[in-house]
Amino acid sequence: MEDKYYISESDFYTWLQENREDFDILMAYYRCAMMEISTKFNVLNEEMSLRYEKRNPIEFIRHRLKTYESIRGKLARKRLSLTIENIELGLNDVAGIRVICSFPTDIYMLADALSRQDDIIVIDRKDYMEHPKPSGYRSLHLIVAVPIFLHDFKKMMTVEVQFRTIGMDWWATLEHKIKYKKDLPDIPKVEAALIDCAQKSYELDLEMQELFKTAMSVSDE
């Protein structure tokens, strides 16, 4: 029996043609939400650079909207029918921002600073730094709701914010390229090696963080 929540590619594109205007408006709202969050981080980065001798905790920020295929697949996995309402209310990660930081402590500082802002609602928080995934993946994830101010009304939109160090981002990017390569030989051995690399990368993050603290304490003296 065919799963009633399965959405074929042809059905999705037929639906998209029929709902193009509403879908494009929703995606525009998500882009506005990402701009709002990015502005908040840029302000925090500027403020931290003034407070801590020109040191910026944020190395760079990336943005992404889920692809059509990702939206279609996630609706099916969550057993949601294809509607504008289900995309907006049922999927919390259509809009995503990745904040790449210098050190692990920067991640927690920025996440807490964002969470304390009075127009931000934290919907979910997952600490994969303290509790890494079985694959070795480390990051801090927040799902937040942020208001966007349009010409005649305010609307709350959800954004997924991922915090990583440079090392975590480097590992995650290469892990994706390696693990999902077709015809990968000896998969358990490769997975074990990736977990080991993730641990070494995190240990190096902590070591560099301590070296930086030492350097800063010497400069203060």
What string of pLDDT tens digits covers the 221 residues of the chain? 456 678 889 999 999 999 999 999 999 999 999 999 999 999 999 998 888 766 889 999 999 999 999 999 999 999 999 999 999 999 999 999 999 999 999 999 999 999 999 999 999 999 999 999 999 999 999 999 999 999 899 999 999 999 999 999 999 999 888 876 667 677 788 889 999 999 999 999 999 999 988 887 776 55
Residue 27 near residue 96, CB atoms below 8 Å: no
DSSP 117: S
The interaxial angle of helices 187-220 and 104-116, nearest 10 deg, is 80
Q: What is the CA radius of gyration of the chain?
A: 20
Residue 168 near residue 138, CB atoms below 8 Å: yes
Residue boundaries of the structural domains of the chain: 9-167
Catalytic position from the list 2, 69, 160, 175? 160
- pTM attached to this predicted model: 0.90
- Whether 21 is catalytic is no
How far apart are the C-alpha atoms of 206 and 99, rounded to whole Å? 18
Q: Is the dihedral of CA 104, 117, 120, 151 positive or negative?
A: negative
What is the identity of the amino acid at 5? Y
CATH 3.90.950.10, applies to 9-167: no
